[in-house]
Amino acid sequence: MKSTPTEWPRSVSQDMAAAISVLGIPVSVDQSVDTISGRGWKTFLLGMESVPDEDIGRKSDNRLPNHQTKTIMGLIRNKQLKEGDPHHPCLDVLRACKARDCLQDAIHKGTRYRLAKVQGADRYMLVPGEEDQSIKQSTPGLVTRSLKLAASLSVLGCPLVRIGGTSGSAEFHFALAGYGQPPVIAADLAQAYRNKRLEAESPEHPLLWMMMGLLNWDAIGDHAKTKGRLLLIRAPGTGRASLVPEDRANGKRMDAVKRHLRIN
């Protein structure tokens, strides 16, 4: 017997919903309002498990793993996933969400951030403080206006030289070489992502998972506003899944997702 949305696991965290969604787990939103106070709140409903290949019309001998939502969420919350698989895609998406929030804080409030290594993982997080002077005074190797790309590169150890532009059109200036072993070259990785070479040569690269998670975060937010259905689309040959609002399925959003997933 298939579960119904009323039985699905719940979370109040949009970041968690986005992180879970990349595994092919459907997401819905329950919005409630207190009729006395008028206060509203939203809860994210997460499918019991990832959607099987055959349920989305795909036949393949290389079956994707089945992900149980409660199990994954429990492992995240009790830190066991971080201990057992510190580079798990869900953890990377959560890190990218936090990095995006820090960058938005830096843009709008002027808070200064630096990179700090995540314990036990070849990943980084933004924490309040100043980068080393050698970084701040270096010549930028990449300039991007993409908040999603900037957040994802930060998680992979690419330090910011500075943030320029205006609050409505911020420019993220990254150092030529990042931290980590081997160090990430921000410009090379960004170019590989944009021209689809990264997808072709390394379809499970963490940058692809994080970018998809941040795209899904936006789609979930749109869904919360419109209450329209979210369509789940898998990337061929990988476990990554994208969420697309149904009312945008034939528009630019769907075209962007298809390009990202290399779907004709």
What is the full per-residue pLDDT of the chain (264 aa) written as tens digits?
455 565 778 888 999 999 999 998 888 887 655 555 556 567 787 888 776 544 443 444 445 567 888 999 999 999 999 999 999 999 999 999 999 999 999 999 999 999 999 999 999 999 999 999 888 888 889 999 999 999 999 999 999 999 998 877 899 999 998 887 788 999 999 999 999 999 999 999 999 999 999 999 998 888 877 766 677 777 766 778 777 776 666 656 566 665 555 554
What is the per-residue pLDDT for 218?
93
- 173: in domain: yes
The CA distance from 78 to 58, in Å, is: 34
Same domain (yes/no): 104, 118: yes
Same domain (yes/no): 206, 133: no
Same domain (yes/no): 44, 13: yes
Same domain (yes/no): 44, 122: no
- 144: in domain: yes
Q: Which of 254, 214, 212, 211 lies closest to 231 in space, CA to CA?
A: 254
- 84: in domain: no
What is the per-residue pLDDT for 241?
79
Domain extent for 124: 89-194
Same domain (yes/no): 95, 223: no
- 117: in domain: yes
Same domain (yes/no): 132, 94: yes
What is the per-residue pLDDT for 165?
84
Same domain (yes/no): 72, 47: yes
Same domain (yes/no): 182, 202: no
The CA distance from 124 to 142, in Å, is: 18
Same domain (yes/no): 64, 97: no
> What six digits make up the tokens of 16?
């968690």
Q: Which of 194, 223, 241 is the last residue of a domain?
A: 194
Same domain (yes/no): 167, 238: no
219 CA to centre of own chain:
11
Q: Which of 177, 194, 211 is the last residue of a domain?
A: 194
- 71: in domain: yes
What is the per-residue pLDDT for 5?
61
The CA distance from 233 to 257, in Å, is: 9
φ, ψ for residue 239 (rounded to 5)? -95, -5
Give DSSP secondary structure letters for 217-232.
HHHHHHHHHH---EEE
What's the burial of 17, exposed, middle or buried (CB within 10 Å: 0-12/13-18/19+)?
buried
Q: Which of 139, 164, 194 is the last residue of a domain?
A: 194
What is the per-residue pLDDT for 252?
62
- 83: in domain: no
Same domain (yes/no): 93, 189: yes
- 147: in domain: yes
Domain count, the chain: 2
Same domain (yes/no): 201, 190: no
